[in-house]
Structure formats: C-alpha cells, structure tokens
C-alpha cells in the first residue's frame, strides 16, 4: 500500500482551483494568514505520520513556507522527503482574481527557467530537497526533446537528486511512455513520475504500471480530483455518483475523500499518494484512508465511476480559481 504525502498546491497561495478553496482559507488572504494555515496543516500532517511533502515554484510561497516550517521544527533531511517542480512561474502577485489576460502561472520549459528555478529551490530547501521534477511535461512544450534541459537535469541527477516529471491532461500516458525512453550518459534520466489518477480518471494506469516495473517512483496527484470526489461537488451530473460514494463511506465508517484516496493508495504500482488538504480537518478526513480495508468488493463498486479522459480534463479546465 502506498504512503500518504501532502501536496502544497493549495497551501502556498491565496487562489487555487480546489472546490471551496476560499472557504477553506476563510477568505483571509494575507500572507501571514495563509502562512499560519499552511503551518497548521503541515503540523497536522506530520503528527499523522506524513513524511513526503510536494511543492513547486509556481505554488506561490509553498517552498518558502515548507523551508520555514522545517527550520522551526528542526527536521533533518534524513527524516523527510521534499519534492519540487520547475517549469511554471507564479504570476498572480498574491491575488485570487487576476486582471483580464493575466494568468495565475505561466509555463516555460526552457533552460534559463530551469537554471533559475533550481537555484531558488535549492536555496529554500537545501538537502531536504530529494526529488526535482519537470512540472506538467507535455509533448506540446517540447521539453522532452530539449537536449540542453535534459543534460542539465542529468547533471543534477549526478548530485544524488532523483529526477522526475509530472504529467497532466488526456495524453498523460503518451508522455510517460516517451519519458521512459530518455537516457543521458547511457542511463535512464527519470527516476520518478507524478501523474493524475483517481476514480474518475484512470487512463494513465497502464503507463504507470510500466513506469513502476522500470523502477520509477510513482506519485499520484489529484486523488480527489480537486474536490470533485468530495461532498463539496454539487454538479448535477455527479449527484448519483456522490450518493453511491456517500453510501460506501457510511458502510465503511469513512468519508468520500478517504474512499477516493484509499483507491489510489491501493494501486499496486503506486508509491506515494498526495493529499491536497487545505485544512487540518481535511487532513484528518484524508488519513482515514490509511485504515480503510480495501478489498475486491470495494474495487468493483468504485470501478464504475470512471469518465472518458477528454470529459474529465474538460471538466477540470472549467474549475475556477477561488
């Protein structure tokens, strides 16, 4: 069974696409308030046994917050795994709603961006940084064919850092397959893969199994689909599925989100499943997945929720920053 980690996408900035994000932050978006909330969630995660924390340069102040928290708690590099990502630059200027034409984050998979962001990540996280990943690698960005980028990542790997990539979108599988073929100096470059897998979007499963078979560390993100696999999902098209998930949760004295996370944690090829919790209450609910007894009946009952990848990613694209 995979271990539970904590993703910092919703904890390092005032705006995010999780359902009810503003409500989680009580609509108090000052840097200090967001920092206090992040520390509360980090403490709850640590107390709950979580030891893997995932950040990115585009997650606002997430690296800074994790660095400060690690320092405050005097956590040694031996006791924690921090993974980070490069390729997106945070451009929202600490605003929930950006001016028209201004994105919350901008994607640039180029060598100068890698060099700048890697230096910044190292400055914040030092020896606690164990995995460095391309953020949302796709064929469209051309990053997997950028020899200068790949060679620089190869040099980072020589320092002992694990090199990985995260993938997103309906072509996750194709990107994973391509990544598995890449070598630098005669050895496979990538040692970890972070991908979306949840009860609604399972399309990357064969490629993730292959990555696991090749020895890559497999990290699952978006296991509750940005809140769509929680009681917060009020979409009429999800009503029937939510009722079924609610009944399963009652039957197992659990919660919808814990059922969803447990499904991901019980993939035989998964190593880490990231919680996207924004509050301590959500951490408490998420960690119920650790004690949920997964069996063939639950597997069968939850397998029917899957959507077509194009439908899933279209719905995700409609989520608003809040």
DSSP classification of residue 39: H
**pLDDT of res. 91:** 97
**Percent of residues in the chain assigned helix, strand, coil, to nearest 5:** 45, 15, 40
**pLDDT of res. 101:** 87
Find the mean pLDDT for residues 33-49: 98
**3 state DSSP class of 54:** strand
What domains are there in the chain, each with its CATH number?
3-317 (3.20.20.100)
- Residue 153 CA to residue 162 CA, distance in Å, equals 10
pLDDT 10s digits, 290-321? 999 999 999 999 999 999 999 999 999 999 99
Angle between helices 205-213 and 172-180 (to 10 degrees): 20
Q: Where are the alpha helices (DSSP H) in the chain?
A: 21-24, 31-47, 62-73, 111-125, 147-157, 172-180, 205-213, 239-251, 256-265, 280-286, 296-302, 309-317
Find the mean pLDDT for residues 263-279: 98
Find the mean pLDDT for residues 239-255: 96
pLDDT 10s digits, 217-235? 999 999 999 999 999 999 9
- The length of the chain in residues reads 322
Overall pTM surpassing 0.75 (yes/no): yes
Which pLDDT band holds residue 280 (cuts at 50, 70, 90)?
very high
Nearest by Cα to 132 from 44, 55, 40, 19: 55
Sign of CA dihedral 132, 135, 139, 140: negative
- Residue 150 CA to residue 139 CA, distance in Å, equals 14
pLDDT 10s digits, 97-129? 999 889 999 999 999 999 999 999 999 999 999
pLDDT 10s digits, 182-228? 999 999 999 999 999 999 999 999 999 999 999 999 999 999 999 99
> What is the chain's mean pLDDT, rounded?
97
């Amino acid at each position: 069974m995979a271990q539970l980690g904590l993703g910092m996408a919703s904890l390092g900035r005032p705006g995010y696409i999780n359902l009810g994000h503003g409500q989680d932050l009580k609509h108090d978006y000052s840097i200090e308030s967001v920092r206090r909330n992040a520390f509360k969630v980090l403490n709850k995660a640590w107390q709950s046994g979580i030891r893997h924390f995932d950040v990115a340069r585009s997650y606002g102040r997430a690296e800074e917050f994790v660095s400060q928290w690690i320092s405050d708690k005097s956590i040694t590099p031996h006791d924690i795994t921090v993974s980070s990502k490069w390729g997106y630059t945070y451009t929202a200027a600490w605003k929930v709603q950006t001016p028209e034409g201004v994105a919350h984050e901008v994607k640039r998979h180029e060598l100068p961006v890698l060099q700048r962001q890697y230096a910044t990540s190292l400055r914040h996280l030092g020896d606690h940084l164990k995995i460095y990943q391309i953020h949302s690698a796709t064929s469209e960005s051309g990053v997997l064919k950028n020899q200068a980028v790949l060679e620089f990542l190869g040099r980072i790997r020589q320092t002992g850092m694990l090199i990985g990539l995260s993938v997103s979108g309906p072509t996750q599988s194709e990107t994973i397959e391509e990544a598995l073929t890449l070598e630098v100096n005669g050895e496979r470059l990538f040692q970890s893969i972070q991908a979306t897998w949840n009860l609604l979007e399972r399309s990357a499963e064969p490629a993730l199994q292959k990555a696991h078979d090749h020895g890559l560390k497999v990290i699952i993100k978006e296991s509750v689909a940005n809140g769509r696999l929680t009681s917060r999902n009020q979409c009429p098209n999800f009503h029937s599925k939510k009722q079924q998930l609610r009944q399963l949760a009652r039957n197992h004295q659990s919660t919808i989100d814990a059922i969803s996370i447990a499904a991901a944690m019980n993939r035989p090829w998964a190593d880490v499943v990231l919680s996207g919790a924004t509050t301590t209450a959500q951490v408490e609910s998420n960690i119920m997945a650790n004690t949920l007894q997964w069996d063939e009946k639950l597997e069968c009952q939850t397998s029917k929720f899957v959507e077509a990848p194009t439908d899933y990613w279209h719905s995700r694209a409609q989520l608003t920053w809040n």
